[in-house]
Chain A
Amino acid sequence: MAVLIACGVYLLLERSLTRVVLGFLLIGNGVNLLILIMGGRAGFAPIFDASIDPVEYNDPLPQALILTAIVITFAVSAFLLALIYRSWRLANADDVADDADDVALRTGTRVVPLEEASIDPGDTDFPVEVQR
């Protein structure tokens, strides 16, 4: 679980969006395992049987929680993939794009007279966004 989460964090910090998705999937699975671990040690399937001591049963609640979490992770990663595909179609890049205003700030338009305060994407050489 720790390895899964560590690798996931590493991938999330990448600039490439595909790796971000992979990182998200790894962390998601890592956290699901964490829930399972928190459920305690393994036991019998929690189907009532008078001959089994209650302590011997497995705790069913974490598994229910994991099931919900898996479904949510699945749906969200499908959406993320669609988003990345759209981003790739639009910008032909698999990267996290820079924010136009952040770039303007970084290139030294931080302190500007009031009238000039417009941070115009046309003012920067940076490819702000790709027009279709």
Chain B
Amino acid sequence: MMASLVPLVVLVPLLAAALTLVLGRRARPQRIVAVLALVSVLAISIALLIGVDSGGAVVVEAGGWPAPFGIVLVVDRLSALMLVISSLVLLAVLIFSVGQGLADGDDETPVSIYYPTYLILTTGVMVAFIAGDLFNLYVGFEILLVASYVLITLGGTAARIRAGITYVIVSLMSSILFLAAIAMVYGALGTVNLAQVAERVQDLPTDVQILLHVMLLVAFGIKAAVFPLSFWLPDSYPSAPAPVTAAFAGLLTKIGVYAIIRVETVIFPTPELNPALMVLALLTMVVGALGAVAQADIKRILSFTLVSHIGYMILGVSLGTVAGTAAAIYYIMHHIVVQTTLFLAAGLVEREAGSTSITRVGGLLASAPLVAGLFFIPALSLGGIPPFSGFIGKLALFQATAEQGDALAYTLIGAGALVSLLTLYTLVRVWNLVFWRPARDVKGDETRLLLAVEEAPHSTSTLSGTRATPRLMTLSTAAMVAVGLALTVFAGPIYGVAARAAENLDGATAYIELVFPGSADQPALGVEESQP
């Protein structure tokens, strides 16, 4: 029963993508198919999470081929959690974009392309989360990346093409690095199956291990936007349409982090590179936060805070302890939800005010109090103000870090607190200028405004809503805020699941046992020659 559900999370969006492609220019059935597909994916994911949390992980051998030869799909607690949270976010963003499309007559998003591509993106995300071998993970990455190339250059305006080219080339480089790393792993171990890799990797000399480890980390680090490899993100994300940016910011980088968690816990649970990762986490946090302080556009500010908060997750992973991994998993969930909500809220601001520049927009609290509320709650959560999920995540992270107790750990806690304050500072500045400041204080030159804002040509006035915001857009944003609050209210049970997921990931043995039951004393599976 559970096993038959696993392939469905991939098949449903893929078939729906084909169906929406066939439906071509008929927007209404396309929307219905897309929303239905994502609702069912969400339902399946929730069923999987419940089943996996109570009954243990599910392993599916695709096509009935046994594990080391065929493709295995593995859903453990971590995968199931990611499936639920990502399908939830994808659904909310889809509804947001449906609302936007209905209101604008689909100028921004050419219908015939948008829904199929979005569903294929979903497929790629799902494949990446349930992949049980490195090559399948690569294929999942490629599916979602190709879809994201199309989405980021949607409409083909000059700004999007410019930003898109950077994004595409950087992503291609990371894919090629990943592929080269897979080749190296295969050359060294004679397998790409994650469990079998984990089993055999301990026999390798340390230098080869570190080479493979670093190659994989660099490939995933580009996708996750870890500091020295994060330059592309604030450049490319803000130019895409608001819902697309929201989905990308929430999900795509987290898939990189997810892959890093898998690498760190299953393939290389050894602590050699952990100090290096901790330093990288520190730099990611600080550099991202400082970048955010210098920006004047809400979307760019959010992109930089996104980079800085990736640092927190890397910190959790780099500790190499169960507590650290659990905190990182909870933090990923919190961050996916909150970051997406903030980008959706920024999309609402863009509609209400015609711009997302914090110097040109003002008085939104008076003209759009609902939008203000929808921005304020996730902003506080991201800044780590006590009752919200951001605080819980950060507290857990700092506790796990303090357990390590050396100078580097305490430096990281200090930096984490500082970055949290900087995040709060930038978001409060947005709040003060965009929402609190009376509209008449905005020094605005109308002609320049028109020249500068390419995406929103109706933005002559910042006093009143220039385009009525459809109820669906507000509703889906409000639903995301509610999910963020639910992460706070039900923090106990959710953190419990995250902690149990982390326990499963403590060392590779649990994962190996999962894919090859009772294989602990059976070193050589299969006939592939393994070359040292």
Question: Residues on A close to B: CB < 8 A?
Answer: 12, 17, 20, 24, 27-28, 31, 34-35, 37-40, 54-55, 59, 61-62, 65, 68-69, 72, 75-76, 79-80, 83-84, 86-87, 90-91, 96-97, 99, 101-102, 105, 110, 114-122, 129-132
Contacts and interface: CB of A to CB of B under 8 A. Distances in A.
B218 to A, nearest CB: 14
Contacts of A59: 528-529
Given A37-B187, A65-B135, A117-B359, A31 B180 contact: yes
B235 interface: yes
Contact of B294 (A69, A83, A110): A110
Across the A-B interface, the 6 shortest Cβ-Cβ residue pairs: A38-B187, A118-B359, A117-B296, A35-B183, A97-B162, A129-B158
Interface residues of B, number: 52
A40 B184 contact: no
B36 interface: no
Interface centre among A28, A38, A59, A97, by most chain B C-beta atoms within 10 angstroms, is A38
A55 B529 contact: yes
B146 A34 contact: no
Contacts of B163: 99
A31 to B, nearest CB: 5
Q: Is the interface of A mostly helix, strand, loop or mixed?
A: helix
Contacts of B187: 37-38
A12 B179 contact: no
Interface of B: 135, 139, 142, 146, 149-150, 153, 156-159, 161-166, 168-169, 172-173, 175-176, 179-180, 182-184, 186-187, 192, 235, 294-297, 300, 357-360, 429, 433, 443, 448, 451-452, 454, 527-529, 531
A89 B180 CA distance: 34
A131 B528 CA distance: 58
Contacts of B451: 121-122
A96 B164 CA distance: 10
A79 B433 CA distance: 41
Nearest to A65: B135
Nearest to B185: A38
Given A37-B187, A59-B529, A86 B146 contact: no
Nearest to B184: A38
B183 A34 contact: yes
Given A34-B180, A87-B165, 15 more contacts: A24-B176, A31-B176, A35-B182, A38-B187, A59-B529, A65-B186, A72-B139, A79-B150, A91-B158, A101-B295, A116-B359, A117-B358, A119-B296, A122-B451, A129-B159
A119 B297 CA distance: 9
A68 B135 contact: yes
Contacts of A86: 153, 156, 161
Interface centre among A84, A87, A117, by most chain B C-beta atoms within 10 angstroms, is A117
B135 A118 contact: no
B169 A20 contact: yes
B186 A96 contact: no
Interface centre among B186, B295, B358, B527, by most chain A C-beta atoms within 10 angstroms, is B186
B235 A99 contact: yes
Nearest to B529: A40
B472 to A, nearest CB: 30
A62 B165 CA distance: 31
Nearest to B134: A65
A76 B172 contact: yes
A96 B173 contact: no
A131 B158 contact: yes
Contacts of A79: 146, 149-150, 168
A55 B433 CA distance: 71
A129 B163 CA distance: 11
